[in-house]
Structure 1
């Protein structure tokens, strides 16, 4: 691989990292699309890690925060983290460190979507609420808490 092509790939990676956090896996896929050699990809990403441009812990933390901002529950975060290739133990550790109140998060998601329901929901409304919050990654106890504690 010639030096000019290597420099272009290096600039490309730096440009990507200047815009947002990426995992090593994501950058590997992007560089493979640019037809970089596996040896060069490895050395370039090692160089980025040595300068702390890539940090899996920081990436994981940002990933969790983005999903919390969307009011996603643990199951949804875990599922999407797996799809992104985030290490399960790192994910579990970061979530534990953040001390997230999943019940309150479920309540927030419920209020945001179903603020128009003022009474105790009927069977049809309850089914809709359960489906919605299950899809967002909450378990049944958290969902039940959300719609039984909907008054501020």
Structure 2
């Protein structure tokens, strides 16, 4: 690999990480799509990781926090992080870091979409439950959110 190729790879990684955190596998995927070979990319990316410039842990925390603030539930957040190739340990750490109250988050998402009143119509209550399932909440969170308490 020439010094010019090395500079191109370093510049590409730096530009990506300057905008936002990226996971290791996301960077590899994006740069291989641009035609950069893994043999040239991986040693440089490993150096970024060792220097703590690229961190899957920071990526997981920022991504989980962003999705939580958008009203997404734990199931959706976990699947999203897995799609980015984040290790399960970092996913657990991210959940601990955001200190989420999933019950209140589900209730907030329900209130924002449907209002604060208790729905007595079975069909409309099922619609609320499907919405919260789609958002990634577990059944106990959904039951809390649509209850009349």
Distance 1:73 1:37, change over 3 A: same
1:1-152 mapped onto 2 (5 Å cutoff): 1-115=1-115, 118-149=117-148
Report the TM-score when normalising by structure 2. Answer: 0.90
How far off is 1:102 after superposition? 0.6
Q: What do residues 67-113 of structure 1 show as CA deviations (whole Å, max 9, x unaligned)?
A: 10111111111122222211122212321343211100001110111
Structure 2 unmatched runs, 5+: none
Structure 1 unmatched runs, 5+: none
Secondary structure of 2:35's match?
Answer: coil
Q: Across the two proteins, how many residue pairs are aligned to each other?
A: 149
| Alignment root-mean-square deviation, CA | 1.7
How far off is 1:149 after superposition? 5.0
CA distance in 2, matches of 1:84, 1:112: 29
CA distance in 1, matches of 2:35, 2:134: 37
CA distance in 2, matches of 1:54, 1:36: 18
CA distance in 2, matches of 1:26, 1:15: 14
Report the TM-score when normalising by structure 1. Answer: 0.89
Q: What do residues 48-77 of structure 1 show as CA deviations (whole Å, max 9, x unaligned)?
A: 113221011100101101110111111111
CA distance in 2, matches of 1:20, 1:103: 29
Q: Are the equivalent residues in 2 in contact too, given 1:72–1:138 (CA < 8 A)? A: yes
Distance 1:44 1:149, change over 3 A: farther
How far off is 1:120 after superposition? 3.1
Distance 1:119 1:104, change over 3 A: closer
CA distance in 2, matches of 1:20, 1:98: 18
Secondary structure of 1:135's match?
Answer: helix
